[in-house]
C-alpha cells in the first residue's frame, strides 16, 4: 500500500487538523492513521512504539505498543518552579515517570498512550506551556544562551529567543481546537499562513542565539545562528548571522552530510526579524520538496550557492548585511557548579546523565528535583547540553539546595569518574525512536565505564574530551561536532568519528566504519596515549588529532566545513 507524500498530507491537512480529533476517539487501536501521524508532529508529538516489545507483540498477533512522545515549546529553556512541578505531575500521571531534557533546551515526555494524549496536552496548557511547533516542518524551539540571569546581556538574548519563537509560530488555530476544545470559527481549516503557506517548510528549521565567548547552544549547528556582538560598554550592538548549519546525514550517501553554518554578516537588532524571516522564506520557496533527506536549508544553500542565497535574503529583508564583527568562542560546554550572577543571586548547573531525570537505584533524580522545585525561589534553565541550571538562588538558600543535591545524588559532577562522563551527550534512540539503528542513551553509561580505564591509564580522567553518542546518522545529539562520536549503524555497531573541536566550529571525520565497542576502544587506545604524551599545554583532544596529522578534515568543500571566526 502506497502512502501519500508528506507534501500532499500537509496540503490536504486543513491547516494541520487532518483527522486527528476523530482518530483520538477511535478506541479500537492505540495508533493514529498514517496521515495523522505526520500531521501531529506539528502539534509537538511523535507517535512511537516500544521496540523492545515489538517481536513479542507480533508473536501474540497484537499491534505494536503504540505511545506518544510530547515535546514542550520553551524558547531559551526557562521554567518556573510551579511549571516544573506541573511537568513532574504530568510525567508521573501519564508519562513513563521521567522528564527528558533535549538538546534543544526543552523537555519531552515519553510513554503517553493515545487515550491520555488530550488530557496530557491540556495539563501542559494549564501549566502556561504549549507544544506548538516543537516538531514538524516549521521553525522549531529557539535556543538561547543558557543563563540569561547571569547578566543583562543574557537576559536580552533570552528575550530574543522568546520573540523569534512567537514570531514564527504557525497562524493556524488547529492546536487550540483539537487539544483545548476552542470553538471553531468560520475560517477553520483555511486560515491564511502569511509565512508558511499551505505546505509549510520543506523540512524543520532551527534557530539559535549565542553569547560569546560561550557557544553553549552550538550555534553553527543551526539553520540560522545569531551570535551576539557587544560594544565596549557591554551593550548589545547586534548579531553576526550564520546560515546553513545542520547535523543530519545518511550512512554511505555522500550527498547527505552534516554542515557547520557560514557567518555571512552583521545585523542590528532592528534588522533581526527581517533577516530571519527572509531566511525562512527563501528556504520555503527554494528548499527541496521532492527528497526530504535533501530538504534542509544547508542543501538549499549548497545547491544554489551561498552568494545567491545571501543576495536573495538581503533583497527580501530590505537589509544590507554589514561585514561580520569580531568575536571568539572559547568552548561549547556548560559551566558546572555555582556561579554568582549578581544581585546576591547564584546559579547552580547540574550535570545530568543524558538529560534523563528519573528515579533509579541510588540516584532519585526526579524526586530530588521535585524537592528542589518545592523550595526554589528562582527559575530552572535547561541547557542545550542536556543539563539543568537552578537559577536565581539567594545566597542564604545555597546550603539548602546543596543539601538536597547531595541527598538525592543529583550532581553527576560528583558521581562521574571522568570529565568526559560529565559532559557526554546522547540521544534517546532505542527503544522509542523509530529511526534508531543502535542504542545511545542506554548505551552511554556502559561505554563510559569501558572507556574509563583507558582514560585513567593515560592520566586523562580530568581531561575534558567531548563525547557524543547518536543512535542513527540523523544526529540529534550533534555528534558531528564532538571530539569523539559514536553514530549507530546496527545493534552493537557504530561509526567512530574523531576530531571535532571544543568550540563547536569544526566537523569531525569518520575514523572507523561499522565497528564494535572492542574495536572502538582498540582504535582509541593509541590515540589517547599519544595525546597524553605529546599534547601542548591546554590543548584539547580534537585539536591535537589535527595538529599531529592523525586526523584530516572531512572530505567536504571548505565552505561546508569551516565556520568563520573573527578575532578581535
Active site residues: 71, 140, 204, 206, 427, 433, 472, 476
Q: What share of the chain is helix, strand, coil (3-state, %, to 5)?
A: 35, 20, 45
For residue 249 the three cell numbers come to 546525514
Q: Which three cell numbers stand for residue 359?
A: 528515579
DSSP string computed for 377-391: -SEEEE-TTS-EEEE
Cβ(247)–Cβ(480) below 8 Å: yes
Please give the Cα distance from 160 to 153 (Å, whole number).
Answer: 11
Between vectors from CA 359 to CA 354 and to CA 364, what angle results, nearest 5°? 100
DSSP reduced 3-state for 399: helix
Long-range contacts: 401-408, Cβ < 8 Å, 24+?
Answer: 401/348, 401/372, 401/375, 401/376, 404/368, 404/371, 404/372, 404/375, 405/348, 405/350, 405/368, 405/372, 407/368, 408/363, 408/364, 408/365, 408/367, 408/368, 408/369, 408/371
β-partners of residue 494 are 488, 515
* 3-state class (DSSP) for residue 352: coil
Three-state secondary-structure class, residue 492: coil
Residue with cell 574509563: 452
Strands, DSSP E only, in 126-197?
Answer: 143-144
Q: What is the DSSP letter of 551?
A: -
Q: Can you give the length of the chain in residues?
A: 568
Strand partners, 226: 209, 241
CB 93 within 8 A of CB 63: no
Kindly list the strands in the beta sheet with 98-101, ordered across the sheet, starting from the edge strand earlier in the chain: 45-49, 66-71, 107-112, 98-101, 356-360, 363-364
Amino acid at each position: 500500500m502506497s502512502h501519500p507524500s508528506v507534501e500532499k498530507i500537509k496540503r490536504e491537512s486543513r491547516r494541520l487538523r487532518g483527522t486527528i480529533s476523530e482518530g483520538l476517539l477511535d478506541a479500537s487501536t492505540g495508533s493514529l492513521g498514517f496521515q495523522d501521524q505526520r500531521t501531529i508532529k506539528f502539534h509537538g508529538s511523535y507517535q512511537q512504539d516500544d521496540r523492545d516489545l515489538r517481536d513479542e507483540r507480533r508473536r501474540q498477533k497484537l499491534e505494536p505498543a503504540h505511545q506518544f512522545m510530547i515535546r514542550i515549546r520553551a524558547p531559551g529553556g526557562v521554567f518556573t518552579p510551579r511549571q516544573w512541578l506541573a511537568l513532574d505531575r504530568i510525567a508521573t500521571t501519564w508519562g513513563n515517570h521521567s522528564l527528558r531534557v533535549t538538546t534543544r533546551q526543552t523537555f519531552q515526555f515519553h510513554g503517553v498512550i493515545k487515550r491520555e494524549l488530550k488530557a496530557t496536552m491540556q495539563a501542559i496548557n494549564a501549566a502556561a506551556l504549549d507544544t506548538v511547533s516543537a516538531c514538524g516542518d516549521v521553525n522549531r524551539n529557539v535556543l538561547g544562551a543558557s543563563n540569561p540571569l547571569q547578566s543583562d546581556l543574557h537576559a536580552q538574548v533570552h528575550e530574543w529567543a522568546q520573540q523569534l519563537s512567537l514570531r514564527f509560530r504557525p497562524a493556524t488555530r488547529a492546536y487550540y481546537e483539537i487539544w483545548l476544545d476552542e470553538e471553531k470559527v468560520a475560517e477553520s481549516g483555511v486560515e491564511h499562513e502569511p509565512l508558511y503557506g499551505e505546505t509549510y517548510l520543506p523540512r524543520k528549521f532551527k534557530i539559535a542565539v549565542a553569547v560569546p565567548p560561550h557557544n553553549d547552544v552550538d550555534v553553527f549547528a543551526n539553520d540560522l545562528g545569531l551570535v551576539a556582538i557587544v560594544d565596549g560598554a557591554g551593550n548589545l550592538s547586534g548579531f553576526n548571522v550564520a546560515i546553513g548549519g545542520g547535523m543530519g546525514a545518511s550512512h554511505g550517501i555522500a550527498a547527505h552530510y552534516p554542515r557547520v553554518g557560514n557567518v555571512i554578516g552583521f545585523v542590528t537588532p532592528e534588522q533581526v526579524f527581517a533577516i530571519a524571516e527572509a531566511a525562512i522564506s527563501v528556504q520555503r520557496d527554494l528548499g527541496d520538496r521532492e527528497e526530504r533527506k535533501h530538504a534542509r536549508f544547508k542543501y538549499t544553500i549548497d545547491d544554489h550557492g551561498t552568494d545567491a542565497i545571501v543576495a536573495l535574503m538581503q533583497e527580501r529583508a530590505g537589509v544590507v548585511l554589514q561585514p561580520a564583527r569580531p568575536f571568539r568562542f572559547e568552548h561549547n560546554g556548560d559551566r558546572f557548579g555555582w556561579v554568582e550572577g549578581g544581585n546576591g543571586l547564584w546559579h547552580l548547573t547540574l550535570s545530568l546523565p543524558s538529560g534523563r531525570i528519573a528515579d533509579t537505584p541510588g540516584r532519585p533524580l526526579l524526586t530530588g528535583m521535585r524537592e528542589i522545585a518545592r523550595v526554589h525561589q528562582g527559575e530552572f534553565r535547561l541547557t542545550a547540553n542536556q543539563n539543568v541550571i537552578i537559577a536565581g538562588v539567594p545566597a542564604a538558600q545555597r546550603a539548602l539546595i546543596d543539601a538536597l543535591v547531595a541527598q538525592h545524588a543529583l550532581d553527576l559532577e560528583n558521581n562521574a569518574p571522568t570529565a568526559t562522563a560529565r559532559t557526554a551527550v546522547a540521544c534517546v534512540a532505542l527503544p522509542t525512536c523509530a529511526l534508531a539503528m543502535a542504542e545511545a542513551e542506554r548505551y552511554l553509561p556502559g561505554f563510559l565505564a569501558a572507556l574509563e580505564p583507558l582514560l585513567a591509564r593515560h592520566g586523562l580522567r580530568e581531561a575534558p574530551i567531548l563525547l557524543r553518542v547518536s543512535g542513527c546518522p540523523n544526529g540529534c545529539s550533534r555528534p558531528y561536532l564532538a571530539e569523539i562520536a559514536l553514530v549507530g549503524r546496527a545493534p552493537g555497531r557504530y561509526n567512530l568519528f574523531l576530531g571535532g573541536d571544543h568550540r563547536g566550529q569544526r566537523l569531525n571525520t569518520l575514523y572507523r566504519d561499522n565497528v564494535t565497542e572492542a574495536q572502538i576502544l582498540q582504535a582509541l587506545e593509541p590515540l589517547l596515549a599519544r595525546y597524553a604524551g605529546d599534547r601542548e599545554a591546554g590543548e584539547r583532544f580534537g585539536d591535537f588529532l589535527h595538529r599531529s596529522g592523525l586526523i584530516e578534515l572531512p572530505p567536504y568543500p571548505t565552505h561546508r566545513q569551516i565556520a568563520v571566526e573573527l578575532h578581535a
